[in-house]
Amino acid sequence: MMRQYELVERVTRYDPDANEDLLNRAYVYAMKAHGNQKRASGEAYFNHPLEVAAILTEMKLDDATIAAALLHDTVEDTSATQQEIEEKFGPEIAALVDGLTKIAKLDLVTKEATQAENLRKLLLAMSKDVRVLLVKLADRLHNMRTLEHVKPEKRARIAQETMDIYAPLAGRMGMQAVRDELEDISFRVLNPDANRIITERLAKLHQESGDILREIEHELTTKLGENGIRAEVYGREKRPYSIWRKMERKLLSLGQLSDIFGFRVIVGTVDQCYRSLGIVHRTWRAVPGRFKDYISTPKQNDYRSIHTTVIGPHHMRVEMQIRTRLMHEIAERGVAAHAIYKDAPDAKEALDGFRQPAAESNAYRWLRHLVDMLQEGESPKEFLEHTKLELFHDQVFCFTPKGQLIALPRGATPIDFAYAVHTSVGDSCVGARINGSHAPLVTELKNGDEVEIIRSDAQVPPAAWEGLAITGKARAAIRRATRAAARKQFAGLGREIVEKLLAKFGRSFIEKELTAAMPRLGHKNLDDALAAIGRGELAGVDVLKAMGITLDDAQLKELRRRPVQKKGEAGEDLSIPVRGVARSTVLNIAPETGAVPGERIVGIITPGKGIMIYPIFARALEQFDNQPERWVDLAWDTAAAEKRFPARIAVTILNEVGSLAAVAQVISEKGGNIDALKMVAREGARDFFDLDITVEVHDVKHLNEIMASLRSRNAVSSVARTTG
């Protein structure tokens, strides 16, 4: 265990003005607070915060951050209080410790919800002070280093959480060294076989290649020196997880990977970076399409470097990264290095491309943007989904017609681009021109594309865009606009219902009278109440009562259109996952057609049955054309694919032995389930039989697969969706 004076010496070595008294007091306080507590490994618990502090001294962080690292578990795991920390160490350190303390005693049912709320709190604290993030990542890094002492089931959960959240977060903040170690440890836990195979293969390659790394290092250093450039060159093998990820992404075998070796060339200035690139390309043949200039166009996490791949000695593919010393420090340590080196002599040149105050890095600004966007997540599931979307993707760089640079995740579309420019641009987007030519909104953008968004004030983003968008910002904005549009539609429907009810009593729709009745209905304003009526959450008759209109029993019986269905009645299914109605609403799928996720659906308010769900093509909807007050616009929820739903199909088969068995076999092989089947002989055509089948499937894609497989059978004449 590191002694008190050793920790202080570590800090004063890079910061002679550090507050030694603060460090000594934090050390003693944390040691006493944790007392005899033990970790799963059996060692003293205090060793953990001490190791976290040691990791942060390697990043050369300030004394307040080191003190917060020593104290970060005291409030959560000991009798210490937040107030006591503030009294003894001041508000700055107390705020850091509070940001690192998990929310205690959460009254939440799922682990996902608890994880989301703790992550939300951490991100908010990080956006106010980036040092919270640095301590948290050091905390997670030490926990991962000692993960072998944790129970296997918990070990896998922690490793997956690290891979999902903390490793990509470290990468987004530019802390590549931390990210690499977190990923490699997680990879060893989550996929030990793959890790072992790749590690053994790397060892074999290293043995076969001998001193090729040293040979290339020497040759490259010599070449640069002959041209007056003093450079530090070192080679390395790629890490096991990095290799595995590339194999998965490009569908390559281990033997097909050619650029397993990489070299870093560290020079003095930006000018020397470009001169070194020229020397490298004159010495060895460059591989087309493998050149990237992140100096002129830095990544969003402040990463700057020149990447190129060449055919080096022994005809080996070699990846090279050329950068200055400051760029290298920021590439390895991200925001931590940025905070340290922003006042360095060469910082002005290195940071010129960032076009921002040196005090705040691009990565930190991205974090603030992420937190602002995540405030709009309405559920833990949405919050975690958006966080992972923002963390994971590599980037492409596109431009507006005026030359503004827009950084987007790889795979992004013009929809994502529009929302990245501004939410109002996304909401009004109707088309796009890419490099001057009209292109579909689903087009995947590439590096260097110039994108012009075509707009219309009459546009409302369709709900289907949510499945096309890649960025969390775009998805959140589309959801918000969809909800607003649905609310407006329901409010209009509610208004129409109330107007018709009032007309029956010879009354007019007067907003002032209705607004005065809102408190009795428990709604803040008239629009909310009308939307609730349109959704079926509030009965129109209750509005009449709130306005003081007295109804007799006969009138009540006539006006009540949606009696409550009792638990256990036939047809009840409270778990149909659709959007557009309250959770308590009774929902049923129309038996004459069925309905499956992927089909556009509508609901019809049906007396005694709640809301009946129909696909938009159902013939039964024609009878409700003159009753708009009964229509409810619905959409399938994303959780729908986890269940099975009924769909009726009409199948015509040949009258021969085994035909029916062939149909049943296809449905079974494709994972469907026959819920009902009716077989009818055709009049005047005894060679054929008509089958009316209700098949249970996950979604419309699943249904189409089954129908396509049925059509391919010789015994099947035709297959069609039943329209009712």
- pLDDT value for 252: 62
573: pLDDT strictly greater than 60? no
Q: Are residues 524 and 615 in the same domain?
A: no
Rounded-to-integer distance, Cα 589 and Cα 620, Å: 13
Count of the separate structural domains present in the chain:
5
Q: pLDDT-based confidence at 588, cuts 50/70/90?
A: confident
Q: Which two tokens stand for residue 567?
A: 């638990």
Kindly tell me if the per-residue pLDDT of 617 is higher than 60.
Answer: yes
> Is 568 part of any domain?
no
pLDDT higher than 90, residue 515: no
Q: Which residue has the higher pLDDT, 368 or 412?
A: 412
Q: How far apart are the C-alpha atoms of 475 and 315, rounded to whole Å? A: 46
**CATH number assigned to the domain comprising residue 691:** 3.30.70.260
State the residue for tokens 């349109």: 534
Residue 462, amino acid: P
Domain boundary among 529, 559, 589: 559
Q: Does pLDDT of 559 surpass 70? A: no
Verify that 168 and 199 share a domain, yes or no.
Answer: no
Question: How many beta carbons lie within 10 A of that of residue 105, not counting itself?
Answer: 5
* pLDDT at res. 226: 92
Mean pLDDT of 619-643: 75
Q: Tell whether the model's pLDDT for residue 699 goes beyond 50.
A: yes
Whether the Cβ atoms of residue 624 and residue 630 lie closer than 8 Å to each other: yes
Amino acid at 715: A
Mean pLDDT of 290-308: 85
pLDDT at 106: 39
Question: Is the same domain home to 630 and 652?
Answer: no
Q: Cα 651 to the chain's mean position, in Å?
A: 42
Work out the percent of the chain whose per-residue pLDDT is above 90: 19
Least confident of 312-321, 535-544, 652-661: 535-544
Contact 341, 326 (CB under 8 A): yes
Q: Which of 39, 197, 68, 178 minimizes the C-alpha distance to 126?
A: 68
Residue 364 tokens, joined = 């930190």
Q: Residue type for 145, please? A: R
Domain shared by 625 and 658, yes or no: no
pLDDT interval class at 224 (50, 70, 90): very high
3-class SS of residue 47: helix
Helix (H, G, I), strand (E, B) or coil at 321: strand
Structural domain harbouring 523: 480-559
Higher pLDDT, 509 or 51: 51
How confident is the model over 488-517, as a mean pLDDT? 74
User: What secondary structure letter does DSSP report for 517?
Assistant: H
Residue 55 CB neighbour total at 10 angstroms: 19
Distance CA 92, CA 67 (A): 11
630 in a structural domain: yes
Tell me, what CATH number does 285's domain have?
Answer: 3.30.460.10
The answer to the question of residue 408 being in a domain is no
597 occurs within a structural domain = yes
pLDDT for the residue numbered 241: 86
The Cα diameter of the chain in Å comes to 103
CB under 8 Å to 443, separation ≥6 — which residues? 413, 414, 432, 434
pLDDT value of position 124: 67
Residue 301 scores a pLDDT above 60: yes
Retrieve residue 448's tokens.
Answer: 């260097």
Write out the H or E segment, with its range, that includes residue 711: helix 700-711
Q: Quick one: tokens of 365? A: 């600004």
The two structure tokens encoding residue 383: 């919050």
Q: Is residue 627 domain-resident?
A: yes
Calpha distance 302→174 (Å, rounded): 7
Q: Does residue 667 form part of some domain?
A: yes
Q: Last residue of some domain: 505, 526, 559?
A: 559
Dist. CA 92–CA 81, nearest whole Å: 15
Q: In this structure, are 200 and 105 located in the same domain?
A: no
| Axis-axis angle for helices 380-392, 472-504 (nearest 10) | 150
Q: Mean of the pLDDT values across residues 456-482?
A: 80
Query: Is pTM, for the whole model, over 0.75?
Result: no
CATH code, 168: 1.10.3210.10
pLDDT at 370: 56
Predicted pLDDT of residue 107: 39
Q: What whole-number distance in Å separates Cα of residue 466 and Cα of residue 218?
A: 53
Catalytic-residue membership of 76: yes
Exposure of 223 in the CB half-sphere (CA atoms within 13 A): 18
Counting other chains too, the contacts that 571-579 makes at CB distance below 8 Å and 24 or more residues apart are 571/609, 575/643, 576/613, 577/636, 577/637, 577/639, 577/640, 577/643, 578/603, 578/613, 578/634, 578/635, 578/636, 578/637, 578/640, 579/486, 579/634, 579/635, 579/636, 579/637
One domain, residues 533 and 665? no
Categorize the per-residue pLDDT at 311 as very low, low, confident or very high, splitting at 50, 70 and 90: confident
The answer to whether 305 and 321 are in contact (CB under 8 A) is yes
Q: How far apart are CA 723 and CA 614, in angstroms?
A: 10
Q: Which of 201, 202, 168, 172 is nearest to 186 (CA)?
A: 168
Statement to judge: residues 589 and 530 lie in one domain: no
Average pLDDT for 355-375: 51
Domain end, chosen from 622, 641, 660, is at 641
Choice among 77, 217, 259, 360 that is catalytic: 77
Band the pLDDT of 665: cuts 50, 70, 90: confident
Q: Which of 399-408, 432-441, 529-538 has the lowest mean pLDDT?
A: 529-538
Selection from 337, 404, 389, 279 nearest residue 134 by Cα: 337
* Position 410 in a domain: no
315 pLDDT higher than 80 = no
- If you count them, how many residues does the chain have? 724
**β-strands 429-434, 437-439: how paired?**
antiparallel
In a domain, 655, yes or no: yes
Domain shared by 212 and 157, yes or no: no
148-157: buried (b, 16+ CB within 10 Å) or exposed (e) per residue? Answer: eebeeeebee
How far is residue 607 CA from its own chain's centroid?
A: 41
- Looking at this protein, which amino acid is placed at residue 705? E
Which residue in 9, 43, 58, 76 is the catalytic one? 76
Catalytic: 302? no
Sole residue written with tokens 């009965």: 539
- In terms of domains, do 98 and 207 share one? no
Question: Are both 484 and 585 inside the same structural domain?
Answer: no
- β 587-589/610-615 pair status: parallel
Give the model's confidence band at 352: pLDDT under 50 very low, under 70 low, under 90 confident, else very high. very low
Whether residues 29 and 154 fall in one domain: yes
Residue 43 sits in the same domain as residue 154: yes
Q: Which residue has the higher pLDDT, 561 or 419?
A: 419
The answer to which of 3-17, 45-59, 263-277, 304-318 has the lowest mean pLDDT is: 304-318
| Residue pair 267/324 in contact by the 8 Å Cβ criterion | yes
Res. 572: pLDDT tops 90: no
Q: What is the pLDDT of residue 392?
A: 46
Tell me the average pLDDT of the chain. Answer: 78
Contact call for residues 142 and 156 (beta carbons, < 8 A): no
| Residue 145 pLDDT | 92
